[in-house]
Structure 1
């Protein structure tokens, strides 16, 4: 099966954008260490500067599964445009960058391209995180729960801004869950 041309083009542009969008900003500093087994599992996307595919995502969830070879199976589930739209899934593979204490990955949707993934902030109990990129083109604020207190949200948005991101493109992701799931 061949990938859609739009997906291939978006991946090429994302990788190319890494070199030109960051300007004079220093690289994103990753957290000191990520305990990969503890980081695995379900993360609700609370807010993001979205990729082209998630601009209208509802109930966005990223799920990580550590594989025996050390790679990370990644599944991004969302509904495009409304809570009642069909569920969409984007699969990718994460490759931990050697020497990064598990805090920097290359994420591959299409071979051979890998997009940068930096765990830029992670709270001690692994319930909230910020994923960033040196290009400052995309970022994700994620939590283990579909909603977080407003004070936490405000603090996380402030952290994203201190990383050098423009706040004009931040989107709070609508999350509404029933007991039965998505």
Structure 2
């Protein structure tokens, strides 16, 4: 009588099974984030002007910054001039400024822009929420690593700030890591 041969499982089917199982576990356990949406339309001329940073997620380029402002100016070619100012260590500390250029990447809404401060690098700038009177805004990046709460005034009312923070949380941003920007009481 012949000895039955025992077949060893092939490497590839076993590897495929492990990979499929791992992918299924990952898909079930990862936190699903909602699709990031922007406002339906931005009038860039109304959006132009000075904005005060009220809060932000930590950014390497904004370390130690207080009294942060951003100014936007539409240009004739459809782009937007950007002028950001940061005071180091206190609202009266030395100011650092940087100029950049933003271009609209979604002309249907004007809510998705690419901003460039140093060629060839560009960053996303998506307007996620905007007060109907253009008094405050929520701006973020699609990877959810960048988030800014902006206001036309150096201070934002607690209800407006709470609403924008909650909106950001619902959109999947880590609002527990927000840095609240020190701004002067009045200018």
TM-score interval, smaller chain: 0.7 to 0.9
Report the Cα distance in structure 2 between the residues aligned to 1:31 and 1:129, rounded to whole angstroms.
10
Tell me the alpha carbon deviations over residues 24-72 of structure 1, each in whole angstroms, 9 at most, x when there is no partner: 5354211000001000000000001132121321111010000111111
Aligned pairs, how many?
157
Q: Flag the 1:28–1:150 CA change in 2: closer, same or farther, 3 A.
A: same
Taking structure 1 as the reference length, the TM-score comes to 0.81
Pairing of 1:156-167 with structure 2 (within 5 A): 156-167=164-175
Report the Cα distance in structure 2 between the residues aligned to 1:35 and 1:156, rounded to whole angstroms.
20
Report the Cα distance in structure 1 between the residues aligned to 2:174 and 2:165, rounded to whole angstroms.
11
Taking structure 2 as the reference length, the TM-score comes to 0.79
Given the alignment of the two structures, is residue 76 of structure 1 paired with residue 84 of structure 2, yes or no? yes
The answer for the alignment partner of 1:125 in structure 2 is: 133
Pairing of 1:146-157 with structure 2 (within 5 A): 146-157=154-165
Secondary structure, counterpart of 1:140 in structure 2: strand
Runs of 5+ consecutive residues of structure 2 not aligned to the other structure: 1-30
Pairing of 1:38-49 with structure 2 (within 5 A): 38-49=46-57
Runs of 5+ consecutive residues of structure 1 not aligned to the other structure: 1-22
Alignment RMSD, CA only? Answer: 1.5
Which of these two proteins has the greater Rg computed from alpha carbons?
2
